[in-house]
Amino acid sequence: MSVSGSENLSTRTFGNEDSLPRVPLPSVAESCERFLEWCAPLLTEDELAETKAAVEEFQRDGSAAHTLQAALAEYDATDGVHSWLDTFWPYRYLGRRDRIALNANFFFLFNDVDADQANRAAGLIASALHFKSLLDEERIPPVVQRGAPQSMEQNKFLFSTTRIPGAVQDTVRAPYRDEWPGPSTERHILVFYRGNLFRMDVLGEEGTPHTLDELADGLRAVMDAGATPAAPGTSVGHLTTKARAEWAASRQDLLAADPGNPVLFDEVERALFCVCLDDLVPEEPLAACD
């Protein structure tokens, strides 16, 4: 089903998801053509000629390509399957076994301001909480491009979302699922400071955000409590920089090491988000990217 005409669009954040068009399944010929377009700039003339010959052989009548294509089309038509990418996409991203802290960690920089660290961080926390309140009520307008609404599903993974390491493939723990319906109702964040990890409540019992002054005071209390750097080898967060299978094994060891650890892990993994109060000050923006 496709959505057309702005008069038919829902203004709720996730109001158009069920009526978005499906991701089209390319034919064997289309996939082969795109593959050649992708690899052409990377190959010499001889390598490209050899690759073209292999592609022609791959897509000839009766080849395994058409058997695979038929299986993919059958999967795409299966009840409950959202897209032929349903299995491939998670595997592509969650199946990586290398260190994601070094190889898949994205960032961006804010313009520098005169506010001190606690006040600056408090402002960012407050803004994130405001966005979450709008998202929870589906008051974030759906993105529309050329009159067509875009999927807003990724917004469901902005808060209380944790990538859980696995031996073969990671999983994602997040709200808006059968085991965790609707938006996250957690009221705390995690604050990292000098290798120490703190829980900090940022919402009151009724879900009302704390004021900027209250947030800044809470952050200063964290900085006072964590003034002494964590002893070497005691910062559990460092284990997340391991290769994924190694981190999965370490996580299981920690869960089994003490009866209280599963509760602590649950508190960490359900936190709304993390704030890291680094005390390293780069000399210039380029150095901050290193």
Q: Each residue's pLDDT tens digit in the chain (290 positions)?
A: 445 455 678 999 999 999 999 999 999 999 999 999 999 999 999 999 999 999 999 999 999 999 999 999 999 999 989 899 999 989 999 999 999 987 877 888 888 888 899 999 999 999 999 999 999 999 999 999 998 999 999 999 999 999 999 999 999 999 999 999 999 999 999 999 999 999 999 999 889 999 999 999 999 999 999 999 999 999 999 999 999 999 999 999 999 999 999 999 999 999 999 999 988 888 888 888 87
Do 111 and 92 fall within a single domain?
no
For strand 188-193 and strand 196-201, is the pairing parallel, antiparallel, or unpaired?
antiparallel
Domain identity same for 132 and 242: yes
Domain boundary among 60, 79, 96: 96
Q: Is residue 179 part of a domain?
A: yes
Residue 36 is assigned to a structural domain of this protein: yes
pLDDT for residue 1: 41
pTM of the model: 0.88
| Residue finishing a domain among 73, 96, 119 | 96
Q: Are residues 137 and 262 part of one domain? A: yes
Confidence (pLDDT) at 103: 80
Do 145 and 106 share a structural domain? yes
- Count of the separate structural domains present in the chain: 2
- One domain, residues 220 and 269: yes
pLDDT at 6: 56
Q: Is residue 271 part of a domain?
A: yes
Kindly state whether residues 37 and 119 are assigned to the same domain: no
| 156 and 28 fall within a common domain | no
- Give one DSSP letter per residue of the chain, joined into a string: ----SGGG---STTTTGGGSPPPP---HHHHHHHHHHHHGGGS-HHHHHHHHHHHHHHTSTTSHHHHHHHHHHHHHTSTT---TTTTHHHHHHHT--S-HHHHS-----PPP-SS-HHHHHHHHHHHHHHHHHHHHTT-SPPPEETTEE---GGGGGSSS-EEE--SSS-EEE-SSBTTB-SS----EEEEEETTEEEEEE-B-TTSPBPPHHHHHHHHHHHHHHT-SPPPTT--GGGGGGS-HHHHHHHHHHHHHH-TTHHHHHHHHHTSS-EEE------SSHHHHT-
Q: Is 138 found in the same domain as 11?
A: no
Tell me how crowded residue 100 is: count the other CB atoms within 10 A of its CB.
20
221: in domain: yes
Indicate whether 92 and 209 sit together in one domain. no
Look at the block and give the residue holding tokens 């993919």. Answer: 72
Range of the domain at 265: 102-288
Same-domain pairing of 106 and 68: no
Same domain? 252 vs 281: yes
Q: What is the CATH number of the domain that holds 11?
A: 1.10.275.20
In a domain, 57, yes or no: yes
Whether 1 maps to a domain, the answer reads no
CATH number of the domain to which 172 belongs: 3.30.559.70
Task: Select from 70, 96, 122 the last residue of a domain.
Answer: 96
Say if residue 113 is in the same domain as residue 201. yes
